Amino acid sequence: MVRILVCVKQAIDVSQLKVDSATRRLILADAPKKISDFDKNAVEEAVHIKEKLGGEVFTVTVSPEDAKTTLREALAMGADKAYIISDPIFENSDTLATSYTLAEAVKKIGTFDIIFCGEASIDSFSAQIGPRLAERLGVPVITYARKVSLEGDAVTVERGLEDCSETVKAKMPVLITVTKEINEPRTPSYMAIMNAFKKEVVIWKAADLNITSEKVGETGSAVRVLDVLAPKVEREKIVIKGETAMEVAEKLAKALIQEGIITR
């Protein structure tokens, strides 16, 4: 029986995000949201372990309450119970503050053998929350996992680094951050989706965790955002045309050489 917790972020679906080209500001107000990609891999891995060894899989998310719809997906994939930690005071939290909120939530939810996080979230892509949460909980952390196996009270994890792959062993409890390579998240069946509606979703406010505003939100954050702007794109956009591939290629080669981009 393994008890597993998956930290799931409801992220902005960055592939559908629109930019106001005049102001270079993002149109975030009604941008679609979804479970952050790698967090789905984390849910899949947790459910996979549960199916093999028996146990329970919980998910936790710090998010506005609208996360309920998104999180049904994790429940449909096989998680047993979801916790949403939601309060206006959490708005504008940085990773220091969010990891604090998450850690307080985890402590209240219970003890776990494994806590899974994604390698990074698709919208902030900071890869910070996993390691920070582990530090706050005082458990070992193994990042960038692409294979996880359990034996007795230990996990063996293969992690992918730039120049090598490392096999790391640790005693549970342990926090593991997973990469996209670890598995292929399942698509829940219709039955599984219907079943998900029967599963429990617990919603906690800051006060339920005894969290006060000085440790979260803007006041509790160590990093402040001054500005968020779409990058300037200034490209020539010269279309090279021709009757044949060779003609196109020759024109392109000539242009690149004339402009000094390719030197002889």
Ligand X SMILES: Nc1ncnc2c1ncn2[C@@H]1O[C@H](COP(=O)(O)O)[C@@H](O)[C@H]1O
> Which residues, 77 to 116, sit near ligand X by CB under 6 A?
95, 98, 102
Stretch that binds another protein, among 71-79, 83-91, 186-194, 239-247 (CB under 8 A): 239-247
How far apart are CB 246 and another protein at their closest, in Å? 5
39 binds ligand FAD (CB under 6 A): no
Please state, in angstroms and rounded to a whole number, the distance separating the CA atoms of residues 142 and 150. 14
Q: Which of residues 110-149 bind ligand FAD (CB under 6 A)?
A: 122
Q: Of these, 128, 150, 201, 202, which contacts another protein (CB under 8 A)?
A: 128
Is 126 in contact with 252 (CB distance < 8 Å)?
no
Contact assessment for residue 92 and residue 217, using Cβ atoms and an 8 Å cutoff: yes
Give the β-pairing of 33-35 and 10-12. antiparallel
**Do the beta carbons of residue 50 and residue 57 sit within 8 Å?**
yes
Nearer to ligand FAD, 33 or 50 (CB): 33
DSSP characters for 34-47? EE-HHHHHHHHHHH
The string over 215-237, giving b where at least 16 C-beta atoms fall within 10 Å of a residue's C-beta and e elsewhere, is: bbbeebbeeeeeeeeeeeeeeee
Cα 17 to Cα 32: distance, rounded to the nearest angstrom:
8
Residue 37 binding ligand FAD, by CB under 6 A: yes
- Binding residues for ligand X, total number by CB under 6 A: 25
Residue 104 or residue 196: which is nearer to another protein going by CB?
A: 104
Q: Which of 40-48, 58-66, 196-204, 235-243 is the region at the interface with another protein (rule: CB under 8 A)?
A: 235-243
Q: Which is nearer to ligand FAD, 37 or 113 (CB)?
A: 37
Q: Which 3 state secondary structure label does DSSP give 17?
A: coil
- Nearer to another protein (CB atom), residue 23 or residue 69: 23
Cα 73 from Cα 39, distance rounded (Å): 11
- Of 17-56, binders to ligand X (CB under 6 A) are 36, 38-39, 42
Q: Which of 166, 187, 189, 194 touches another protein by CB under 8 A?
A: 166
Residue whose token pair is 């096989």: 78
- Binding footprint of ligand X on the chain (CB under 6 A): 7-9, 36, 38-39, 42, 60-63, 95, 98, 102, 117-118, 120-121, 124-130
